[in-house]
Amino acid sequence: MRPTSDCTGAHLLDAREGYRRWAPSYADETAISCLEDGIVAAMTPPLAGLRLLDAGCGTGRRLQGCGAALAVGVDASAAMLDAGVGRGEPQPGIVTMVGDVRALPLENESFDVLWCRLVIGHLPDCAPAYRELARAAAPGARVIVSDFHPDAYAAGHRRSFREGESVHEIEHYVHTSEAQIAAARGAGLALIDEREAAIGEAVFPFYQRAGRPELFAAHRGLPVVLALAFRG
């Protein structure tokens, strides 16, 4: 488990190679994934009876036990899917497939809740992803998009993971809240909620376990997750 990192000296990888290599250890939660999960849970309606899409689902860890009537995960990385939900027996109500959030292999208007979690920063342009989320959203659906916070990037933090003795950084494109809201509006989505999560006591254990408690004081209060919710 790693706290957020300023990651100097890391090797920079593109998303495809980065997640191929991160896949075996991706299940380990980080300070950021922990905060992200809390904030998205608070913005997500009860899923019972609803059709959920997780666009850029990674290992599919957020689909497991989510309670949706149908939970579909799409991710560009077969390695991530294979390391997660794809590894065991098929799970009732969960379907995963390889695909791109900018060209979803899914029908129009087919989901009631759509997540796109910690993905949009891997795209040079966020508009195509917003157009696809809007297309796949049923009328009145909720679309929730989270990402690494622009303030964290500006403060020098990077998206990184450890592989053996090496630390790798995955390429990231900053999309401000304003730029995302404009892209979403252009796709026909209306903003209904905007939240951020900052480093605080809840994630101190990640710093302790990483043997870097002194970093906690330096990072405390820094927003590291931005989440936006839209109505389809």
**Rounded CA gap, 104 and 221, in Å?**
36
Token digits of residue 22: 């991160």
Give 24 or 213: the residue with its C-beta nearer to ligand SAM. Answer: 24
Candidate list 57, 94, 184, 197; residue touching ligand SAM; CB under 6 A: 57
**Rounded CA gap, 230 and 125, in Å?**
18
Give 56 or 232: the residue with its C-beta nearer to ligand SAM. Answer: 56
Candidate list 31, 43, 53, 56; residue touching ligand SAM; CB under 6 A: 56
Q: Which stretch binds ligand SAM (CB under 6 A): 72-80, 171-179, 182-190, 213-221?
A: 72-80
Candidate list 113, 118, 187, 228; residue touching ligand SAM; CB under 6 A: 118
Give 57 or 141: the residue with its C-beta nearer to ligand SAM. Answer: 57
162 scored as a contact of ligand SAM (CB under 6 A): no
Candidate list 2, 21, 51, 122; residue touching ligand SAM; CB under 6 A: 122
Q: Which stretch binds ligand SAM (CB under 6 A): 42-50, 58-66, 182-190, 199-207?
A: 58-66
61 scored as a contact of ligand SAM (CB under 6 A): yes
- Which residues bind to ligand SAM, rule: CB under 6 A? 15, 19, 56-58, 61-62, 75-77, 80, 100-102, 117-119, 122-123
